[in-house]
Amino acid sequence: MKEYKIYRILLGEETAHSPDGKISDFQSARELLEKKPESGIVLIDGLKGKKTSDKLKVFWELVELRESVEFCCAPIYLSRTMQQVDILVDGISSNIEERLPEAASILERGKRISREKLLDNHNLRMLSYMYVRGEEYSLSPVCSPFSQWIYSYPEMALLLDSSTKASKILRPEDLSGLERLRSFRFDTEMIMALRAVAFLEDHGYITRNLLVDRVRKCPKCKTGHLNYVDVCPNCGSIDFNKKLMIHCFICGHVAPDSDFRKNMSFVCPKCNTVLRHLGSDYDHPLESHECNNCGSKFIEPDVKADCLFCRTRTDPSDLTVVNVYSYKLSEKGSAAVRTGSMQMEIQLFDGQNNLKFSYFCNIIEWMREYRKRYADEVFTLIGLKFSNLYEVEDLLGEDLYKKIMDELIFRIRAMVRTTDITTSSAPDTFWILLPRTLFDNSTILAERIELLNDKLEIKSDKKIEITAKCFQIPTEDNEISAEKYLELFAEEL
Amino acid sequence: MEVFEELLSSEYLPLLFEEGAGTLLLKFMPFVLFFELPLAILVIIGVIKYTVDRRYEGERRPYFPSVSCIITCYSEGRDVQKTIMSLTEQIYPGKIEMLAMIDGAAKNKFTYDSAHEMSHYVSGFENRKLLVVPKWQRGGRVSSLNTGLNFASGEIVMALDGDTSFDNNMVERATRHFEDPTVAAVSGCLRVRNADESLTASLQAIEYFISIQASKTGLSSFNMVNNISGAFGVFRKSVLDLVEGWDAGTAEDLDLTLRIKNYFGRYKKKFRIIFDPEAIGHTDAPATFKGFLKQRIRWDGDLSYLYFRKHKRSFKPKILGWPNFLMIILTGLFSQIVMPFVIFVYTVWLFIRYPIEYASTLLFLVYLFYFFLLLVMYLIFTACLSERPEEDLSRLCFLPLMPLFAFAARMNSLVATVWELTASGHKDTSMAPWWVTRKNKF
């Protein structure tokens, strides 16, 4: 087993771990990061964890470490428990030696990941974080009863891109943070984390492990703090009273008990008998209610869910039901970590003219042969690439992103002629083969595609970047295959 | 009826009157002059006084103390639900807490379950609370009451039976008296729930009406109530705490009354026990004559046990106060313990002293006297007191049987007293198991 560096961040005097030669001490995470260290194990030590301010300090160190490319996936340990902060680290250990095998395997797996790819891609960072912790690791939700999101994934929140976080995560000097830390109430980050996890699940990078809980949320504002109230079915007022009905055995009169009440006894308003004993003089045929607002009488009140945030009233059956899961890395997710790329699949072209990439290459080969014989038989290729799909989806949300994509796809398809042949060489890279088209003519088309963005009817802050370029495959050189050419062209996109 | 005619046409009847009114009176004397008649007159005056006072009682003031009802249950089964429902149903804005104490709940699972089933029903009402307390091991009524007292949080504590259901104004009527700080306890009025079940039950209904509803009302007018019904007693909690609840042993109702009286007598404090004829509970009376006699043997035996054994030292006017002392002598000791002896001895003497026809004619006259006294009282009481006059009048036809019924009851009482004095019969009581009464220090 390779010897890994152990970095200790000493935040105070109260050390729990006795130093030995292998450990290098630092005052803070910042000091450690400034040294541009090689990957290693981090131990946070020196605080007792009895005070909330201790936990906050530890938390802040964690935030800085996880933000960095070097330590975003690194094994981090605490020397003493910090209660709610514990979920963010790999373990609590006063003797780091005991944890070395486990930490080493995390670092070992981390070697395969190229750090550059992790920059500005929090999704990939999350997948890598899960990947290095092995197959047994599952990403668990944390419940914060007083937050609007109720369940979220704090580990994901720490790995968010700094641009997304907008440094909202607390500073140690933020006093209100003490309270917020207690329940992980960094709402902006936690909601972003929730979205990021949903995104990863939707695209199959992570799979559901355990169903942890089920919460019902307000369909309008998606918060889960609901007040279930019984209301008048007619006007919805909560101000109604139970009305006991009385059935007089003497004359058979049935009316609410208020009609019978006279001083401190029940007197039948019809036959004037004093009704003294339940069961022998009278009974209650049914229980009803009377609304103090609209005066309507009803047997059973309705039950509604009132959102405590936005005051929307919803029928309980119309509430948004959210299942909360813990997650494991999927095959696809693990592949994404190993190749360092998360590819977005979109179906730009369909129909008979959309071919498998290998067939497409075969046709190009055939066209090259054809042109050798008939020199006037020209053809052009247009390469298309969408470069920032993830970013856009993350920023705009799934719904808006889909609408924009649908419009784009619709417009691009409209430009393609029935004789054109299409394919895709990568999830975000597409090719159009235009037979009998001169290079100059096809550049017009390419330009028009590139400009599509501005002409979309749906307006948004963030635009999908489309690169469209025209290419011609030289006829003479038969040494290089069509496939190779396309690979070369794709790099230019 | 033939017997009547025969007796009326008897040759001895004129003979009886020939001896002069004085002699006749003398022959009646033991029963009537010294005891029955003055008591009846006292009661009638008291009832009339009550009726007048009641008419000018005025509006209820907003005094609604919290009430804890200790319901002692044993094997009542479904009947306990009636009790709980009738208490839930009270027209009373204050809090009513029901403590259903199930004695021997392991054995009486059905009663326990029946009480439990009511939890949901009670929870639908404002200011009503039900607590079902299972006492798995049987411990007797006193242990139930004292256990219940530990749970009771109300200012007013009611000791109720699981087979008694209540009119919906009971709590309101019973609690209103406690606004007067000298009132220590209120005795509730019991009526017979199953009056129409049998002749015995109907006769008991009449007896309850006369001897509870009317007599106690009359005596209460003169502050001379000497017992708080065991099936239906209402106490100020602070008073119960002072005398430290109920004592083990039987007839705990009488015992507690005497102890309260003792307590107040000793400290020369002014206090009152009130009987309210409108705070009504309905209970099941034994439907068979045999059952009736058995129940009375137990009650009367308990009574003499109390007077002769337990309380003999505190049985002094100094402690009880003169009116109460006299009243206990008169109604308790005299009427229920001495009278059966007197009647028995007198009757035997009559038949030895006179020829049988003469004696029977005399007894018939005694019967007639009792019957007319009863009729007059019954009509007055129904007019003044009955909250269900039609029901009570419907039982007028049973009135001629009442003197005979009362005679049988008294003879039965005699047997009970003899039994108690000779054989410590109260330890046979069915109110508590033998392992409880065995340890009893009395």
Question: What are B118-165's pLDDT values in tens digits?
Answer: 988 898 888 999 999 998 888 888 888 888 998 999 999 999 988 899
* Residue B135 near residue B104, CB atoms below 8 Å: yes
* Residue A26 near residue A7, CB atoms below 8 Å: yes
- pLDDT mean across residues, chain B: 80
Quick: pLDDT tens for A420-442: 888 877 767 888 998 888 888 88
Contacts of residue A263, defined as CB under 8 A and 6 or more positions apart, other chains included, come to B59, B60
CA distance B371 to chain A (A): 31
Q: Which residues of B touch A276 (CB under 8 A)?
A: 167-169, 280, 387-388
Contacting A residues, span 247-266, partner chain B, CB-CB under 8 Å: 261, 263-266
The mean-pLDDT minimum among A143-147, A291-295, B370-374, B430-434 falls in B430-434
At residue A318, the pLDDT reads 92
Q: Do A278 and B169 touch (CB under 8 A)?
A: no
Q: Do A264 and B169 touch (CB under 8 A)?
A: yes
Q: How many residues does chain A have?
A: 493
* Domain A357-492 CATH class label: alpha beta
Range A271-287 average pLDDT: 87
**Angle between helical axes of B356-384 and B37-55 (0-180°, round to 10):** 10
Which residue on chain B is closest to A273 by alpha carbon? B388
- How many other C-beta atoms are found inside a 10 Å radius of the C-beta of residue A427? 14
Query: Exposure string (b/e) for A118-150, b if CB count within 10 Å is 16 or more?
Result: beebbbbbbbbbbbbbeeebbbbbbebeebbbb
Q: Do A265 and B169 touch (CB under 8 A)?
A: yes
Mutate to test the interface with A, among B80, B82, B128, B168 (most CBs of A within 10 A): B168
Q: Do B92 and A264 touch (CB under 8 A)?
A: yes
Q: Which residues of A touch B166 (CB under 8 A)?
A: 277
Q: Do A276 and B280 touch (CB under 8 A)?
A: yes
A278 vs B: CB within 8 A: yes
Q: Which residues of A touch B92 (CB under 8 A)?
A: 264
Q: Among A232-236, A384-388, A489-493, B429-433, which range has the highest average pLDDT? A: A232-236
CA distance B58 to chain A (A): 11
* Residue A417 near residue A378, CB atoms below 8 Å: no
Phi-psi region of A482 (alpha: psi -120 to 50; beta: other; left: phi over 0): alpha
Residue B16 has pLDDT above 60, yes or no: no
Q: Do A277 and B86 touch (CB under 8 A)?
A: yes
The 3 state secondary structure assigned to chain A is: CCCCEEEEEECCCECCCCCCCCEEEECCHHHHHHCCCCCEEEEEEECCCCCHHHHHHHHHHHHHHHHCCCCCCCCEEECCCCHHHHHHCCEECCCHHHHHHHHHHHHHHHCCCCHHHHCCCHHHHHHHHHHHCCCCCCECCEECCCCCCCEECHHHHHHCCHHHHCCCCCCCCCCHHHHHHHCCCCHHHHHHHHHHHHHHHHCCCEEEEEEEEEEEECCCCCCCCEEEEEECCCCCCCCEEEEEEEEECCCCCEEEHHHHEECCEEECCCCCCEECCECCCEECCCEEEEECCCCCEECCCEEEEEECCCCCEECHHHCEEEEEEEEEECHHHHHHHHHCCCCCCCCCCCCCCECCHHHHHHHHHHHHHHHHHCCCCCEEEEEEEECCHHHHHHHHCHHHHHHHHHHHHHHHHHHCCCCCEEEEEECCEEEEEEECCCHHHHHHHHHHHHHHHHHCCCCCCCCCCEEEEEECCCCCCCCCCHHHHHHHHHHHC
At residue B206, the pLDDT reads 93
Quick: pLDDT tens for A226-247: 999 999 999 999 999 888 888 9
* Residue B254 near residue B363, CB atoms below 8 Å: no
Say if residue B434 is exposed, middle or buried (CB neighbours under 10 Å; 0-12, 13-18, 19+): exposed
Range B197-207 average pLDDT: 92
Contacts of residue A305, defined as CB under 8 A and 6 or more positions apart, other chains included, come to A216, A218, A226, A227, A228, A229, A313, A314, A315, A316, A319
- The band of B205, judged by pLDDT with boundaries at 50, 70 and 90, is very high
B8 vs A: CB within 8 A: no
* Residue B215 near residue B43, CB atoms below 8 Å: yes
Range A265-284 average pLDDT: 89
User: How far is Cα A330 from Cα A209, in angstroms, rounded to an integer?
Assistant: 10
Structure tokens belonging to residue B410: 């008294």
* Residue A171 near residue A60, CB atoms below 8 Å: yes
| Side chain identity, residue B133 | V
Using a pLDDT cut of 90, give the percent of chain B over it: 28
Q: Which residues of A touch B91 (CB under 8 A)?
A: 261, 264-266
Which residue on chain A is closest to B124 by alpha carbon? A242
Q: Do B169 and A287 touch (CB under 8 A)?
A: no
User: How far is Cα B417 from Cα A331, in angstroms, rounded to an integer?
Assistant: 96
CA distance A10 to chain B (A): 58
Q: Do B168 and A277 touch (CB under 8 A)?
A: yes
Q: Which residues of A touch B86 (CB under 8 A)?
A: 277-279
User: How far is Cα A277 from Cα B94, in angstroms, rounded to an integer?
Assistant: 19
Largest CA distance in chain A: 117
Which residue on chain A is closest to B93 by alpha carbon? A264
At residue A129, the pLDDT reads 93
Residue A352 has pLDDT above 90, yes or no: no
Q: Which residues of B touch A264 (CB under 8 A)?
A: 60, 91-92, 169, 172
The number of C-beta contacts closer than 8 angstroms across A and B is 38
HSE value, Cβ hemisphere, 13 Å, CA-based, for B379: 6
HSE value, Cβ hemisphere, 13 Å, CA-based, for A83: 14
A274 vs B: CB within 8 A: yes
Q: Which residues of A touch B169 (CB under 8 A)?
A: 264-265, 276
B282 vs A: CB within 8 A: yes
Residue B374 has pLDDT above 80, yes or no: yes
**Radius of gyration over every alpha carbon of chain A, rounded to an integer in angstroms:** 34
| Side chain identity, residue A170 | L
Q: Do B92 and A261 touch (CB under 8 A)?
A: no
Which long-range contacts does B40-44 make (Cβ < 8 Å, 24+ apart)? B40/B373, B40/B377, B42/B218, B42/B219, B42/B222, B43/B214, B43/B215, B43/B217, B43/B218, B43/B219, B43/B377, B44/B218, B44/B377, B44/B380
Q: Do B168 and A274 touch (CB under 8 A)?
A: no
Residue B395 has pLDDT above 60, yes or no: yes
Range A83-109 average pLDDT: 86
| Side chain identity, residue A210 | L
Q: Among A173-187, A287-301, A305-319, B234-248, which range has the highest average pLDDT? A: A305-319
Range A215-223 average pLDDT: 89
Which residue on chain A is closest to B166 by alpha carbon? A277
Q: Which residue has the tokens 């998606």?
A: A222
Residue B252 has pLDDT above 80, yes or no: no
Structure tokens belonging to residue A70: 């070097």
At residue A48, the pLDDT reads 81
CA distance A286 to chain B (A): 13
Q: Which residues of B touch A283 (CB under 8 A)?
A: none
Q: Do A277 and B282 touch (CB under 8 A)?
A: yes
Residue B430 has pLDDT above 60, yes or no: no
B92 vs A: CB within 8 A: yes
| Side chain identity, residue A262 | K
Structure-derived torsion over alpha carbons of residues B236, B242, B246, B249, reported in degrees to the nearest 10: -150
Range A287-296 average pLDDT: 87
Q: Do A276 and B169 touch (CB under 8 A)?
A: yes
B168 vs A: CB within 8 A: yes
Quick: pLDDT tens for B380-390: 999 998 989 98
Q: Which residues of B touch A266 (CB under 8 A)?
A: 91, 168
**Angle between helical axes of B252-266 and B141-151 (0-180°, round to 10):** 60
Among partner residues A242, A263, A278, which is closest to B168 by beta-carbon distance?
Answer: A278
* Residue A61 near residue A11, CB atoms below 8 Å: yes
CA distance B86 to chain A (A): 6
Q: Which residues of A touch B282 (CB under 8 A)?
A: 277
At residue A112, the pLDDT reads 80
Closest to A42 measured CA to CA, from A90, A77, A84, A93: A77
B167 vs A: CB within 8 A: yes
Quote the ipTM score. Answer: 0.72
- The band of B321, judged by pLDDT with boundaries at 50, 70 and 90, is low
Range B193-216 average pLDDT: 90
Range B224-245 average pLDDT: 82
Range B265-272 average pLDDT: 72
Q: Do A264 and B91 touch (CB under 8 A)?
A: yes
Q: Among A46-55, B112-121, B243-252, which range has the highest average pLDDT? A: B112-121
- How many other C-beta atoms are found inside a 10 Å radius of the C-beta of residue A403? 15
At residue B437, the pLDDT reads 46
Q: Do domains A1-111 and A357-492 have the same CATH topology?
A: no
In chain A, where the domains are located = 1-111, 233-300, 357-492
A287 vs B: CB within 8 A: yes
CATH 3.40.50 for domain A1-111: yes
At residue A184, the pLDDT reads 58
B276 vs A: CB within 8 A: no
Quick: pLDDT tens for B36-80: 778 888 889 999 999 999 888 877 788 899 999 999 998 888 889
A276 vs B: CB within 8 A: yes
- Bridging pattern class, strands B67-73 and B96-103: parallel
Q: Do B387 and A276 touch (CB under 8 A)?
A: yes
- pLDDT mean across residues, chain A: 83
Which residue on chain B is closest to A284 by alpha carbon? B89
Q: Do B165 and A276 touch (CB under 8 A)?
A: no
At residue B441, the pLDDT reads 41
B284 vs A: CB within 8 A: no
Residue B175 has pLDDT above 50, yes or no: yes
